[in-house]
Amino acid sequence: MSTLSTVPAPAFQEPAPTPVSLLLLGRGADPRSERGVECPGDLPPASDPDLVARAEAAKAELGDRLFVLGHHYQRDEVIRFADVTGDSFKLAQQAAARPEAEFIVFCGVHFMAESADILTSDAQRVILPDLAAGCSMADMATAEQVERCWERLEDLGIAERVVPVSYMNSSADIKAFTGRHGGTICTSSNAKRALEWAFGKGEAVLFLPDQHLGRNTAVRDMGYSLADCVVYNPHRPNGGLTDDELRNAKMILWRGHCSVHGRFTPECVDEVRERIPGVNVLVHPECRHEVVEKADYVGSTERIITLLNEAEPGSAWAIGTELNLVKRLAAEHPDKQIAFLDKSICYCSTMNRIDLPHLVWALEALAEGRVPNVIEVDADTAHYARVALEQMLALP
């Protein structure tokens, strides 16, 4: 007789619906997440020929009450309205340095606006023109997962000698976790200084959430070996690591990555070197280690811009970072040959959520006395996240 018939069939469980990652611009809302938001009132159509004039008029009306920050990956149509452009580090510094601005409109992504809210006074309001502008890398580390990882380190008796270092590209919850446990935030322009500081304080680092920035900085810039690094996978039991692997690691890297920079491969580097003899390959440290190893230069968006400004006329460059920035650099440097490292296009879809209609919609609302899309971090989270962010701003 078959034993199968005696085993009760497991109760069928309806699989959880796959969350919709992108909703149409300004249409539809998901109350449980930042993935979508209605824009009350009328979102101007992208084809409206008056959008530029409308943005200019609303900006002029708001005057010094308004401060617009723009990350380098923003579209040209948006970045032209930024009072300051920068990488994540510069934008965090700038947000903290403008106590007189009543409204900070952040043309970037959600984690950047959260950091601006944490670093500004209670009287200031930070506005993200489209709340669906999140970051898939930041979403790869949730507070619950990170707490579970830390408990594992505590159970092993090693948490006391591990210092958390979290990339700016993380939620306020992760930044607060970092502050609570004596760590620091870093960006791609100060990751080495952050790791030096952390290794002066402890014996190992838990690096969240970008494994690539952590590995590239430790191995390429600081002389650690690949064997010093392990990858903690929050989707596997015990992070997919044995007790000894965790005990012996210098760098415990969270298994997160940027889907935009993850597209660049070592083959892209080989191919561009064949196509453009003498080309300088310049990539962002969110790229995979194998890509960074093959590149000539590695740097944050701000560093990429500086290197291009300093480059010899006639020199050739292949750049591995988000396409809005690469296209802008190519337009600004007609005396240099500037190519995109990948053959297929590679925009950051969430950065691109901030478009001119959303910016106009937000600015006009402010000018009319409404404050839309406020990013507000709760007081307890903000307190500990500020501790970690201020530690970053104070790094030697």
From the list ligand SF4, ligand 13P, none, pick the one residue 87 interacts with, judged by a Cβ distance below 5 to 8 Å according to partner type.
Answer: ligand 13P
| CA 341, 189, 99, 110 torsion-angle sign | positive
The greatest distance separating any two alpha carbons of the chain, rounded to the nearest whole angstrom, comes to 84
Beta bridge partners of 318: 281, 339
Distance of closest approach, residue 242 Cβ to ligand 13P, in angstroms? 32
Which member of 92, 96, 109, 230 binds ligand SF4 (CB under 6 A)?
109
Which member of 85, 301, 324, 373 binds ligand 13P (CB under 6 A)?
301
Which residue's CB is nearer to ligand 13P, number 280 or number 301? 301
How many beta carbons lie within 10 A of that of residue 67, not counting itself? Answer: 24
Does position 130 interact with ligand 13P (CB under 6 A)? The reply is no
Beta bridge partners of 282: 297, 319
Does position 351 interact with ligand SF4 (CB under 6 A)? The reply is yes
Q: In terms of Cα–Cα distance, which of 137, 132, 135 is closest to 23?
A: 132
Does position 391 interact with ligand 13P (CB under 6 A)? The reply is no
From the list ligand 13P, ligand SF4, none, pick the one residue 305 interacts with, judged by a Cβ distance below 5 to 8 Å according to partner type.
Answer: none
Q: Tell me the number of residues near ligand SF4 by CB under 6 A.
A: 13
Distance of closest approach, residue 56 Cβ to ligand 13P, in angstroms? 26
Does position 342 interact with ligand 13P (CB under 6 A)? The reply is no
Task: Tell me how far apart the alpha carbons of residues 206 and 152 are, in angstroms, rounded to a whole number.
Answer: 12
Residue 85's Cα: distance from chain center in Å? 15
For 133, residues 6+ apart whose C-beta sits below 8 A from its C-beta are 108, 109, 110, 350, 351, 353, 354
Per-residue contact flags (x/-) with ligand SF4 for residues 38 to 77, judged by CB under 6 A:
-----------------------------------x----
Contact 52, 90 (CB under 8 A): no
Does position 169 interact with ligand SF4 (CB under 6 A)? The reply is yes
227-286 residues in contact with ligand SF4 (CB under 6 A) are: 258-260
Angle at 214 between CA 208 and CA 219, to 5 degrees: 160
For ligand SF4, the binding residues (CB under 6 A) are: 73, 109, 135-137, 169, 258-260, 322, 348, 350-351
For ligand 13P, the binding residues (CB under 6 A) are: 72, 87-89, 169, 187-188, 258, 286, 300-301
